Structure 1
Amino acid sequence: MARWADVEGDAPEFAAAVRRLFEAGKHKTLATLRRDGGPRISGTESEFRDGDLWIGSMWLARKAVDLRRDPRFALHSPSVDPPEGDPSTWSGEAKLSGRAVEVPGDGSAHRFRLDIDEVVWTRVGSPADHLVIELWRAGQGLRRIRR
C-alpha cells in the first residue's frame, strides 16, 4: 500500500492529472463491500491533505460500517461525457483502489485515510480511435496501455 505522496513522488505528472480529475467536482463514487460480500455504491467527498487522500462519513453510515468491517474500497472521480466534436480533448476519468484506515475522531463522524494500491487514468487517445489507460500500482510504478 502507498500514500498519495508516494504516487506524486513516483509519477508526478500522472498524479497531478489524476488529482485534477478528483478535484474537478465535489461528489465522488465510493464502492465498498456489504456484509454478504456484495458491492455497495455510495456518494462521498474526498480531500487531498498532507500527502494523503481522505474521506469522511456520517457516524455509522453504511459505507463507514462496511469499511470498518472490510477496508477494501474503490473510488471514482467525478465524470463528464467526452466532447462530441473531438473526444480526444476529454480529460478522462480516474479511479483508485486500496484500503481505508479509520483515524479516531470525536465520535460524531468517521474519518478514513485511503491507503492506495492502484490508480487508473482513462482517456480517449488522439486520434480518437483508441483509449489510453495509465495504471500506477504500489511497488510497480506507472505503465501505459493502448486499447
Structure 2
Amino acid sequence: MNWAAFAAAEPELAGIAEERFGAAGHHVLATLRKDGSPRTSGLEVRFLGGELWFGMMPDSAKALDLRRDPRFAIQSNPGPGTDLGAGDFRVSGRAFEVGDVGRGDVPEAKAAYVEEVEPPQPFHLFRTELTEVVRTRVEDDTYLVVQVWTPGRPVRTVRRT
C-alpha cells in the first residue's frame, strides 16, 4: 500500500505525519545489513505524487542495504526539546528502487523527483510500500498515546499512564 492509500484511509493521521516529517530535514532510517544486523542512517524524505520517496547518494550503505533487502523503518525527527505533545512517527515497510523490473515503476518518476527536489546526480530513488505507521505522543502530560495503523485495519489506539 502506498502513501496515497494510507492518506485515503486515515487522512487526519497522514496529514499529521506529513507535517512532522516536514518539520525537520533529517530523520533516522533503519535498514538491514548483509549479515542481518540493523543499520541506522540519516535521511531526508519527500511526499510527492501520493508516494513516500527516499533519495540517496550513489552506492551509499543504506541504498545497498535496501537493494538487497527492501525492509525499512523510518523514525521522524521529534524536533528540539522534549515536548512530545505533537508526537513522532515511525513508518515501516519495503522500499523499491525506481526502475526495478516488474515493479511497475515508470522512468518519469525519477524525472519528477529531480524536478521537485534537485538532488545531486547520480542518485538512487526508492518508492515505498507501507506495512505500518505508528504515532507516539504524550497527552495532557499524563498519558502515553500510541496509534498504530496497518493496511486494511482501522487505527488502534493505546493509552498508558
TM-score, normalised with respect to structure 2: 0.82
Q: Distance in 2 between matches of 1:142 and 1:131?
A: 16
SS at match of 2:59: coil
Partner of 1:122: 136
**What is the deviation of 1:108?**
2.0
**What is the deviation of 1:141?**
2.5
SS at match of 2:155: strand
SS at match of 1:118: strand
Partner of 1:82: 82
The one-letter code sitting in structure 1 at the alignment partner of 2:154 is G
Give yes or no for contact 1:82–1:92 (8 Å, CA) kept in 2: no
Deviating above 4 A after TM superposition, structure 1's stretches of 4 or more consecutive aligned residues are none
The one-letter code sitting in structure 1 at the alignment partner of 2:95 is A
**What is the deviation of 1:140?**
1.4
Partner of 1:20: 19
TM-score, normalised with respect to structure 1: 0.90
Give the gaps of 5 or more residues in structure 1. Answer: none
Q: Distance in 2 between matches of 1:6 and 1:146?
A: 26
Asked whether 1:92 is paired with 2:87, we answer yes
Q: Distance in 2 between matches of 1:73 and 1:117?
A: 10
Partner of 2:144: 131
Percent identity over paired residues:
44
Q: Deviations for 1:29-82, whole angstroms, at most 9, x for unmatched residues?
A: 100000000000001110000000001111110000000000000001111333
State the Cα RMSD in Å: 1.6
